[in-house]
Amino acid sequence: MSPVQFRVPREFVCVQGDDAESYLQSQLSNQIAGQSVRSSRWSLLLDPTGKLVAVVRVTRFEDTVFVLDTEPGFGDAVVARLNRFKIRVKADIQSLDWQCIALRGIDARSTAESLGRVPSEGLIVDAWWGGDNSVDLVGAAVAEVPGLALCSAAEFDALRVAAGWPLAGTDFAAGCIPAETALVRVAVSFTKGCYPGQELVERMDSRAVTAPHTLRLVVDAGYSVGDSIVDGAVVTSVGGGKAIVRAKRDAAELGEPLGPA
């Protein structure tokens, strides 16, 4: 099946300056120092107590220019949180008016890479759990791909749920602990230096503590968002024959954990 495309609403933040790399390294949960130009990775932005501010995708656009993108409604919080600890740091942090078109399906990456105009106008970045079937085109002006089918918002969300990718503001909320996002494995480095909120993340990992609530992927049995199912698990997303549920820590037998297939 040829990939489909969908214009995804995302909010973008630019961090630019001589200290951009070192400052982001000190503030984000993932390894930023040494990140290659035009590469991207997921990270968590936490408050000092370890509670989630936002999930961000960090793209190194140029050597001293980083672009962070996040879910709608989280951009201002990202700017405010990063500016909060910016003392004697040579970096400018501000919202950025960029766009995002998602390509999903077999050979999505090769389809994107065949578009010679994209690298000059923006970037091809990894999406969801990564791989060749899930990429985004991001940039100041990203046009729809000619000849590629458009999908609706509902169809795109069904693809997301079927892939088991959790959405901030839908499957978990700001203020939760990192382990409740199901994204620690792709958004946290346990070998980097200190960052605000690290103590909670490291303590739970070293002690193998399960979060009070976890996200699980189950087969959709006619569920609707908000339904309470077995063991008090609550449905947060439905689509593509699957459902994402927020379950209590003792529901380890329910469905499967979210993650790459």
Binned average pLDDT, 10 residues per bin, the chain of 261 residues: 91 98 98 96 97 98 96 98 96 96 94 70 89 94 89 97 97 96 96 94 88 93 93 93 92 85 65
Is position 254 within any domain?
no
Question: Is the pTM value of this prediction over 0.85?
Answer: yes
Is position 229 within any domain?
no
**Strands (DSSP E) along the chain, which ranges?**
4-7, 11-16, 40-46, 52-62, 65-70, 92-96, 99-104, 122-126, 134-139, 149-150, 213-219, 234-239, 242-248, 256-257
Query: What does DSSP say about strands 122-126 and 234-239: parallel, antiparallel, or unpaired?
Result: unpaired
Is position 102 within any domain?
yes
Is position 172 within any domain?
no
Residue span of the structural domain in which 71 resides: 4-163
pLDDT at position 251: 77
Number of domains forming the structure of the chain? 1
CATH number at residue 44: 3.30.1360.120
pLDDT at position 116: 65
pLDDT at position 118: 55
pLDDT at position 1: 61
Residue with tokens 């793209």: 59
17, 41, 78, 192, 249 from 127: Cα distances, Å: 26, 9, 19, 23, 28
Is position 224 within any domain?
no
Is position 247 within any domain?
no
**DSSP summary character for residue 174:** T
Is position 256 within any domain?
no
**Contact call for residues 217 and 210 (beta carbons, < 8 A):** no
pLDDT at position 74: 98
Is position 236 within any domain?
no
